[in-house]
Amino acid sequence: MKRYPVELSILALTLLLGLIGCLWLHHYTAAGLVSEEEPLLFGATYMTMNNPFYEVIDEELRNQVEAGGDVMITMDPQLSIERQIEQIKTMMAEGIDVLIVNPVDSRGLVDVLREASQKGIIVIAIDTNVYDGEDFVDHTVVSDNYQAGQLCARYMMEHRESADIVLLSHGAAYSAQERLQGFRDAIADEPGYHIVSELDCEGQLEKSMPLIEGLLEQGTAFDVVMALNDPSALGAVAALQAGAADGKIDEDAVMVLGVDGAPEAKVLIKEGYMDATVAQYPKKMAQKAISAAYAIKAGDHELQEEEIAVSLIDGSNVDEYLLEGWQ
């Protein structure tokens, strides 16, 4: 019988085993026993979508998630903490891997977020901190909100030797509290600056406008409005314009300050109807949140909180910013 070299026999055996392996893999792939990795499911909920700031964050988050081949669902609690809790529970039941949350109430989500964390869901807080969340919030991305309030106060003191100030606040939002605390601390040792009223408008234009109109009707004297965000500031501007038309106030005598750097606020600053806003960077905020989520999923994560620097926009530098969009 003809004998073949050992090397040739080994080569033939290798080829045969390779063919068997290919046939085996084809069989089991066709049977559905070999599957590709499932896409991650992201859930997102913000205190309200009735704010362009959160629309920009959500759009950028979605762009980043879908670029990675993953899926995102968004729910709007419309400033209801009860609704937000139910929405988070719904998303957990749908099997989300990552929860990106902007709390309606910084204290109100503790239990449901702890439950999410215990289920192995990655929890990312965005734009505002969660009260006492160190043990169950994996990462937080916020603006330097305290500094935003400080910048507004410094601007005011540079342009006014004294002031009677109205604060437009949102008591349930930690970010808003931080901004107004920064403002208060900056004027604390300055005797010429007085807070004459603080009104909770929940950061909404539709609520801040009638609140300022109410002060005008009451005859409350004020010459500065410090708003927690730009929608609130826009409501104040609208109320002042209406009051000026009725002869109740000199619109030009009232300084209006906001936080966000929203396109509408920048236009009003350019046109002289609003004095200043502090720019936030919602796209950068979203990008950092997604980067943190993927890093945590990969087991490569150390930072627990990122704080994004803010900058003041006023009439002297507004042309350096894009008026039509967000920075």
Segment 215-246, tens digit of pLDDT: 999 999 999 999 999 999 999 999 999 999 99
Q: What is the pLDDT of residue 199?
A: 98
Q: Is the pLDDT of residue 27 over 50?
A: no
Q: What is the pLDDT of residue 37?
A: 80
Q: How confident is the model at residue 36 (pLDDT cuts 50, 70, 90)?
A: low
What is the secondary structure of 231-249 as a DSSP string?
HHHHHHHHHHHHHHHTTSS
Question: Quick check: is 30 in a domain?
Answer: no
For residue 154, the 8-state DSSP code is H
Q: How does the average pLDDT of the chain come out, rounded?
A: 90
- Rounded to whole angstroms, the Cα distance separating 303 from 301 reads 6
Residues 6 or more apart whose CB falls under 8 angstroms from that of 306 comprise 139, 140, 141, 142, 288, 292
Q: Is the pLDDT of residue 19 over 90?
A: no
Q: What is the pLDDT of residue 302?
A: 77
Tally of domains within the chain = 2
Q: What is the pLDDT of residue 152?
A: 98
Same domain, 249 and 294: no
Q: Is the pLDDT of residue 82 over 70?
A: yes
Question: Quick check: is 53 in a domain?
Answer: yes
Question: Quick check: is 6 in a domain?
Answer: no
Rounded average pLDDT over 152-164: 98
Question: Quick check: is 58 in a domain?
Answer: yes
Q: Is the pLDDT of residue 56 over 50?
A: yes
Rounded average pLDDT over 248-260: 95
CB 67 within 8 A of CB 60: no
Residue 184: domain span: 145-279+316-320
Question: Quick check: is 21 in a domain?
Answer: no
Q: What is the pLDDT of residue 5?
A: 45
Q: How confident is the model at residue 301 (pLDDT cuts 50, 70, 90)?
A: confident
Sign of CA dihedral 87, 92, 97, 99: positive
Same domain, 299 and 245: no
Same domain, 164 and 214: yes
Q: Is the pLDDT of residue 15 over 50?
A: no
Same domain, 173 and 123: no
Same domain, 252 and 157: yes
Same domain, 101 and 86: yes
The domain that holds 179 is classified in CATH as 3.40.50.2300
What are 174-186's pLDDT values in tens digits? 999 999 999 999 9
Question: Quick check: is 92 in a domain?
Answer: yes
Q: Is the pLDDT of residue 9 over 50?
A: no
Same domain, 83 and 155: no
Q: Is the pLDDT of residue 92 over 80?
A: yes
Question: Quick check: is 16 in a domain?
Answer: no
What are 124-144's pLDDT values in tens digits? 999 999 999 999 999 999 999
Same domain, 273 and 161: yes
Same domain, 93 and 195: no
Question: Quick check: is 134 in a domain?
Answer: yes
- Rounded to whole angstroms, the Cα distance separating 157 from 224 reads 11
Identify the residue with better confidence: 302 or 102. Answer: 102
Q: Tokens 């906001």 correspond to what residue? A: 258
Same domain, 234 and 202: yes
Same domain, 178 and 75: no
Rounded average pLDDT over 3-18: 40
Same domain, 155 and 267: yes
